[in-house]
């Protein structure tokens, strides 16, 4: 339950020791940066970086009627998701707008939903309002820590640090792996299994690691011991923006639909009925769409800045930043669909000056190869 005091992940003390800059992020005291956003961003793109994601909600669903319940509230056909597979999906209102975006991981006896930290309590209440049949919803956010290693050297980093080898996992799959006995009992890692999903929010190959909260610091320290740097929420935001991945509250919310955001791949309109399905069927070709822009200036556009086409305001920036990888400023904004053509010229008002911008195909950045 939320109180007036921000909550802390099991790794809070580790962040303080690393001299992180701590901020209040949706009721959690979280590291925004350690050495610097650009340096941390570049580490993930070129080597690997370590993230604390323990503020994200981890909700387990079990019971004999759980799949019928999830079928009703998720936009993917859960009956076709085999155990060990992960899918990006949504909770929607009846109007087809986004309550939250999340990752669904199918299990043999229970399923896992990873939801946004800002929406966890709202999501839990909404799910319980729609409960049907014999279903149990269990919030394990405070029992299990969630870490991520992202970047081209992420697998090598995990092998070296933990003695585990999740390399058999394909993209968007989940498995359990026990640490190597060579770590020794004194490490706090030698027994038990950790969960790994080959998922992430950076545009790079990588893994998200589920460990008991009591063992989070031991795992974190082992990973840091390989030389991988810790990465804060600042670089996480620049990485996900380059990868064209939406942020709830910026690019999607309860006023936008997945189809407007170009996320139709996560919506199966012909699956069994789900909340918001009919509204989306009526909006197969929405009049506005999320577009990507590259600016000619290095001045960074921000959320809420006005977007102009032929001197007429046609939208506002939902996310914007300076891209360390492209060495250009980039932005996302909803604009009329007929204007969302690569090469189309726009202007974005950046602190009182209209800067030239051009529509580009999303994502801004795509890694060369992808495990599948």
Structural domain ending residue among the three candidates 112, 139, 166:
139
User: Which of 87, 107, 139 corresponds to the end of one domain?
Assistant: 139
- If one compares 223 and 180, the residue with the highest pLDDT of the two is 223
How far is Cα 103 from Cα 266, in angstroms, rounded to an integer? 10
| Same domain, residue pair 310 and 349 | yes
Average pLDDT estimate for 330-337: 98
Q: Residue 96: pLDDT above 70?
A: yes
Confidence band, pLDDT 50/70/90 cuts, at residue 179: confident
Calculate what percentage of the chain has a pLDDT beyond 70. 95
Same-domain pairing of 160 and 209: yes
**Is 250 part of a structural domain of the chain?**
no
Q: Which CATH number characterizes residue 302's domain?
A: 2.40.30.110
Query: What are the phi and psi torsion angles at 102 (to 5°)?
Result: -155, 170
* Within-domain flag for 26: yes
Q: Give the 3-state secondary structure of residue 122.
A: helix
For residues 285-313, give the mean pLDDT. Answer: 96
pLDDT tens for each residue of 246-298: 999 999 999 999 999 999 999 999 999 999 999 999 998 999 999 999 999 99
- The answer as to whether 266 is a domain residue is no
CATH code where residue 159 lies: 3.30.1360.120
Count of structural domains, the chain? 3
pLDDT level of residue 371 (50, 70, 90 thresholds): very low
- Rounded Cα distance between 104 and 254, Å, is 20
* Cβ atoms of residues 49 and 150 within 8 Å: yes
Nearest to 148 by CA among 230, 35, 39: 230
Nearest residue to 59 via CA among 117, 7, 8: 117
> Any residues with CB less than 8 A from the CB of 369 and at least 6 apart, and which?
none
Task: List the helix and strand counts (H, then E) for the chain.
Answer: 8, 18
Task: Tell whether 44 and 61 lie within a shared domain.
Answer: no
Under 8 Å between Cβ of 230 and 15: yes
Whether 267 and 75 have beta carbons less than 8 Å apart is answered as: yes
Whether 327 and 184 map to the same domain: the answer is no
Q: Whole domain around residue 338: which residue ranges?
A: 287-363
- The verdict on 177 and 42 lying in the same domain is yes
> pLDDT tens for residues 149-160?
999 999 999 999
Give the CATH number, domain containing residue 130: 3.30.70.1400
Cross-strand bridge partners of residue 356: 347
pLDDT tens digits, residue range 42-90? Answer: 999 999 999 999 999 999 999 999 999 999 999 999 999 999 999 999 9
- Residue 262 maps to a domain: no
Distance CA 18, CA 34 (A): 7
**Is position 268 within any domain?**
no
Q: 139, 171, 196: which is the final residue of a domain?
A: 139
Flag whether 261 is in a domain.
no
Token readout for 142 is: 């405070």
**113 and 155 both lie in a single domain:** no
Task: Supply the pLDDT for residue 372.
Answer: 44
206 assigned to some structural domain: yes
**Same-domain pairing of 199 and 320:** no
> Same structural domain for residues 201 and 99?
no
How far is residue 28's CA from residue 54's CA, in Å, rounded to a whole number?
10
Both 50 and 178 in one domain: the answer is yes
- The answer to whether residues 122 and 159 belong to one domain is no
Does residue 118 sit in the same domain as residue 229? no
Token duo for residue 235: 């670089």
* Residue 93 forms part of a structural domain: yes
Q: Do 218 and 147 share a structural domain? A: yes
Residue 358, pLDDT > 70, answer yes
């Amino acid at each position: 339950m939320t109180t007036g005091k921000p909550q802390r992940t099991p790794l809070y003390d580790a962040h303080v020791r690393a001299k992180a800059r701590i901020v209040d992020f949706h009721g959690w005291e979280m590291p925004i940066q350690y050495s610097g956003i650009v340096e941390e961003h570049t580490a993930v793109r070129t080597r690997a970086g370590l993230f604390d994601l323990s503020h994200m909600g981890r909700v387990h669903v079990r019971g004999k009627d759980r799949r019928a319940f999830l079928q009703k509230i998720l936009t993917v056909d859960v009956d076709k998701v085999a155990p060990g597979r992960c899918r990006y999906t949504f909770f929607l209102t009846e109007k087809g707008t986004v309550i939250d975006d999340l990752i669904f991981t199918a299990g043999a006896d229970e399923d896992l939903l990873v939801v946004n930290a800002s929406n966890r309590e709202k999501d839990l209440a909404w799910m319980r309002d729609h409960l049907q049949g014999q279903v149990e919803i269990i919030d394990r956010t405070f029992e299990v820590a969630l870490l991520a290693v992202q970047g081209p050297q992420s697998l090598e980093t995990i092998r070296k640090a933990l003695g585990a080898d999740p390399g058999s996992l394909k993209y968007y799959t989940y498995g359990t792996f026990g640490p190597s006995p060579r770590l020794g009992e004194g490490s706090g890692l030698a027994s038990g299994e950790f969960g790994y999903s080959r998922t992430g929010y950076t545009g790079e190959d990588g893994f998200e690691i589920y460990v008991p909260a009591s063992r989070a610091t031991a795992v974190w320290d082992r990973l840091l011991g390989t030389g991988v740097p810790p990465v804060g929420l600042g670089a996480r935001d620049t990485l996900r923006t380059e990868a064209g991945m939406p942020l709830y509250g910026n690019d999607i919310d309860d006023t936008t639909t997945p189809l407007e955001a170009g996320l139709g791949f996560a919506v199966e309109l012909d699956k069994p009925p789900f909340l918001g399905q009919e509204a989306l069927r009526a909006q197969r070709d929405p009049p506005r769409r999320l577009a990507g822009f590259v600016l000619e200036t290095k001045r960074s556009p921000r959320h809420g800045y006005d977007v102009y086409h032929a001197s007429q305001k046609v939208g506002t920036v939902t996310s914007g930043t300076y891209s360390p990888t492209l060495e250009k400023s980039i932005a996302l904004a909803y604009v009329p669909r007929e204007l969302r053509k690569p090469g189309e010229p726009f202007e974005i008002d950046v602190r009182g000056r209209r800067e030239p911008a051009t529509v580009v195909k999303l994502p801004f950045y795509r890694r060369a190869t992808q495990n599948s």
